[in-house]
Copies of this chain bind each other. A is one copy, B any other.
Amino acid sequence: MKRIITVGREFGSGGRELGKRLADHLGYAYYDYEIISEIAKRTSLSENYIQHIIEQRPAVHFPITVARSFAIADNYWMEKNIQLYQQQEEIIKEMAKTSPCVIVGRCADFVLRDQKPFRIFVYAEIESKMKRCYEKVPKDKALSEKQMQKNIAQIDKNRSQYYEFYTNQIWGDKRNYDLCLNMTNICIKEIIPIIAQFIG
């Protein structure tokens, strides 16, 4: 059984829930927002501030190696973003050394590539992602369908640019994963033991 499992996920496709349930099923540690908390502890920055910086998508369309060589990353947000990425990378490597774990997002499949993790990517049709998002917000705070669709697309665009900037790989490209799962018609609870067998 692989001791490190990474989960890449489109927004609203159920990646967090899948990761958490899989970790519980296997008795593995689960890391997602925990990584932000750890950065906060080490830097004395607030979790909100860190999250905010990380969510700024890189403003350039080159991978980090190119961006740095040409010094085009020379601005405050970009530098902060790169610093936090490096901190995050360090923490992910430490966590993966400590115990078997499931890590959601955060380019973990790339960061831990030398450890050969089992790499899952989950995605879903837009209607399914919207349904999932609507279930999570109170009705009176729900966005219009158009706005919700736009937000989901924007978040995925940010994730894609962030991933490509730091890994020089295409986000969600099946070649970078061992298993890609279309969550549209899937009951997460039911597939957890099956995914666990797959990994074994």
Contact = CB atoms under 8 A, between A and B. Distances in A.
Interface of A: 121, 123, 125, 172, 174-175, 177-182, 184-185, 191, 194, 197-198
Nearest to A184: B178
Nearest to A182: B178
The list of the 10 closest CB pairs from A to B, nearest first, reads A180-B180, A178-B182, A194-B197, A174-B180, A174-B174, A194-B198, A194-B194, A179-B181, A123-B174, A177-B182
A182 B174 contact: yes
Query: How often does this chain occur in the complex, in copies?
Result: 2
26 contacts: A121-B174, A123-B174, A123-B175, A125-B175, A172-B174, A174-B174, A174-B180, A174-B182, A175-B182, A177-B180, A177-B182, A178-B181, A178-B182, A178-B184, A178-B185, A179-B179, A179-B180, A179-B181, A179-B182, A180-B180, A180-B181, A191-B198, A194-B194, A194-B197, A194-B198, A197-B197
A198 B191 CA distance: 7
Nearest to A179: B181
Contacts of A198: 191, 194
Given A177-B180, A194-B194, 9 more contacts: A121-B174, A174-B174, A174-B180, A177-B182, A178-B184, A179-B179, A179-B181, A180-B181, A197-B197
Contacts of A184: 178
